[in-house]
A and B are shown apart, each in its own frame.
Chain A
Amino acid sequence: MAMHELQRDYSTKDLQFISIDKQGTILTTDQQLFELKENSSIKNYHPFFEGIDTYFLEKSDHIKLECVHLNDRIFDIDFIKNDDDTAVIIFREGTDFYNRVQLIAQKRNESIIFQETLELKNQILKEQEEFKNRFIGNFSHELRNPLTLVSSFSSMLLKTELNLDQEMLVEAIKDQSDKLRDILNDIIDLSILKNSSLSLESEPFSLRKLLKNVHLNYSTTSTTKDLSIKLKIDETVPMTIIGDRRRFEQIITNFLDNALRHNKGDSIEINIKENQRRANKVSLRIEVINNSGIVPDSLGDQDIETYTNLDNGDIEKTTGLSFSIARELAQLMDGEILIKPLETGGTLQVANLKLVFPIHDKEIVEETEETAKNSKIHLTDKVRTIIAEDNSVTQMTALKILVGTGNFDNRVFTDPKDLLEAVDKDDYDLILMSSSISQVDALELISLIKEFANDHNKKIPIIAVTTKTSATDLVEYRKAGFKDVVKKPYTDDELLNTIYKRLNLKKFK
């Protein structure tokens, strides 16, 4: 076959030419693609043609319609208007081509919709997670007041004359409520960490002193009296670290708590090594090894689930909580946490943490807090104290603790108006203020006091007693003029320590 014939053949094989008049009557047509009768109306063949009239009205003489489905076939259609009110319609069959296009579009659209659905689900999960954390946070805060009372009253009770039976009972109460307090703090920490609203402090602290303190604390508690806890710090490890001392300590104590909980042997080792350092950054390896007893690993995110499920609220199930906290904290410190069973039947817990140290590294001298023996303090003049608190449980807790020392003369205020009146009329020596009183925020209230109090009262220490104790909260409280912050739940000694520290005790002796 000659070349031009081939071309003709090819180019017309899938084309059909139809000419119509303005009413849609078929004037001439070939039958390449489908059969059409001349002199019949094209509108009868398919709804597509029913609107064909309007193409005669369009400005353009040439209208192209691509990918039009007519029955089970797909066509590109050209509508070409002539001067004599007739038109030529050219059909090009594209069924095979467009079916391939359809397959591609099918894949693409399905995957886009799938992706969208995933994102949506993810978002719902995230919202649920946030709700859960908020819920845990709120509910833990609610628990603090009653717990403060139980914990501090049992501590006070222990300081009185009790017979042996009573003492044992009260000790058990105190022991368990302290435990509960720790768990509560863990939960709050974790919900803060999961909300990632926690930022780390950056202060220099002595690494060795911190480790020795932790070691001492753990070596001298009753639960560890048959246990040898060894602390080994590599020589090369920096003296001073710049970072968040409390959070750093928390990782180690969480490890130790974990180790103690599952320990079956007679020794626990704490090893601090240096992985590497560059400039002023150091990667430290913190190991806690118990030579016998498996600490459950694979503590995924289900920990908090088991925890919030109060139906099986078995305290021993909380193992994972401290580990979860340690893991979150380590992540905040650009580090990681590993937990490995040892061949000896024990467990190795490791934290690799990236930390900063000062270029001129030397031991820093830290202020050692001189905690006065609270029970030995007797003041001749009573400290005239305002307790601004509208929660009756907390009122009673604070009152009992203060009254028990014999050093305080207390007045309780639950209404901000009365409080403002009082600080104007009478002289006081101390104000303890909860985070809000009858809906008025402590920050607002203190600014009112600074404004409306008499000159004497403007100078007395005001201490916040609050559940809001994040670093940013503390800064705000200080800025607003609070001398100190006592964190709820507190023990009697914690409350008294802070008060005595902030009072000029000589004045009352």
Chain B
Amino acid sequence: MISKKIVIVGHFGVGKTSLIRRFVEDVFSADYKVTIGVHILKKTVHVNDKEVNLILWDTEGTDDIEEIRKAYLLGTHGFIFVCDVTRPVTYQNIESQTQYLKDNFNKVPIISIGNKSDLLPKGSISEKKEELEFLDMLVSAKEGNNVQRLFEKIAKLLS
């Protein structure tokens, strides 16, 4: 069975940990426990009748991607860059941040997503989507929207 290392990056508090917990354990907690260092979790997904082991690295949130401990990123097969659609600071610099990853991790795919879509006022999602067009996907760890799809998508990209 193949294993793929996915590193989840982005500002603190955007819901990286929550996304992984929703995906792996199908739970959500409204309490915020700040992640330090790195947690590593695993879940198997099926892509095209094949099983892929996703090894998910849940990192400490940093304002700047360059602050992340370099060793965490060794051997990465894919990045998920998470921002919080309700906090502009978390996506203001998304371009330079993803560019940094592209420059340093040649050819490693990056998916940029906006989390907490449940907090967008109903009816404004399509409007907000336009404003957030630089994102590949809007998800909600709280309500589970698009979470499964997100990880299947990255698994597909890698297999």
Using a CB–CB distance below 8 Å, which chain A residues touch chain B? 46-48, 50-51, 54-55, 57-58, 63-70, 74, 98, 101-102, 105-106, 109-110, 112-113, 116, 120
Given contacts A66-B71, A101-B36, A113-B13, 16 further A-B contacts (CB under 8 A): A47-B40, A48-B40, A50-B42, A50-B55, A54-B75, A58-B75, A63-B74, A65-B38, A66-B69, A67-B60, A68-B40, A70-B40, A106-B33, A106-B34, A110-B34, A112-B12
Question: Per DSSP, are chain A's interface residues mostly helix, strand or loop, or mixed?
Answer: helix
CB atoms of A120 and B13 under 8 A apart: no
Q: How far is the CB of B79 from chain A (nearest CB, A)?
A: 15
CB atoms of B71 and A65 under 8 A apart: yes
CB atoms of A116 and B37 under 8 A apart: no
CB atoms of A98 and B37 under 8 A apart: yes
* Assembly CA distance A110 to B75 (angstroms): 32
Q: Does B3 belong to the interface (CB within 8 Å)?
A: yes
With a CB–CB cut-off of 8 A, which chain A residues contact B38?
65, 67-69
With a CB–CB cut-off of 8 A, which chain A residues contact B42?
47, 50
Q: Does B72 belong to the interface (CB within 8 Å)?
A: yes
CB atoms of A109 and B3 under 8 A apart: no
CB atoms of A109 and B34 under 8 A apart: yes
CB atoms of A55 and B36 under 8 A apart: no
CB atoms of A58 and B74 under 8 A apart: yes
A sample of 27 inter-chain contacts (CB < 8 A) reads A47-B41, A47-B42, A50-B3, A51-B3, A51-B75, A55-B74, A55-B75, A57-B75, A63-B74, A64-B71, A65-B69, A66-B69, A66-B71, A67-B37, A67-B60, A68-B37, A69-B38, A98-B36, A98-B37, A101-B36, A102-B34, A105-B34, A109-B61, A110-B34, A116-B87, A116-B89, A120-B88
Q: How far is the CB of B71 from chain A (nearest CB, A)?
A: 5
* Assembly CA distance A366 to B34 (angstroms): 71
CB atoms of A102 and B36 under 8 A apart: yes
With a CB–CB cut-off of 8 A, which chain B residues contact A65?
38, 69, 71-72
* Assembly CA distance A113 to B72 (angstroms): 25
Q: Does B16 belong to the interface (CB within 8 Å)?
A: no
With a CB–CB cut-off of 8 A, which chain B residues contact A54?
5, 74-75
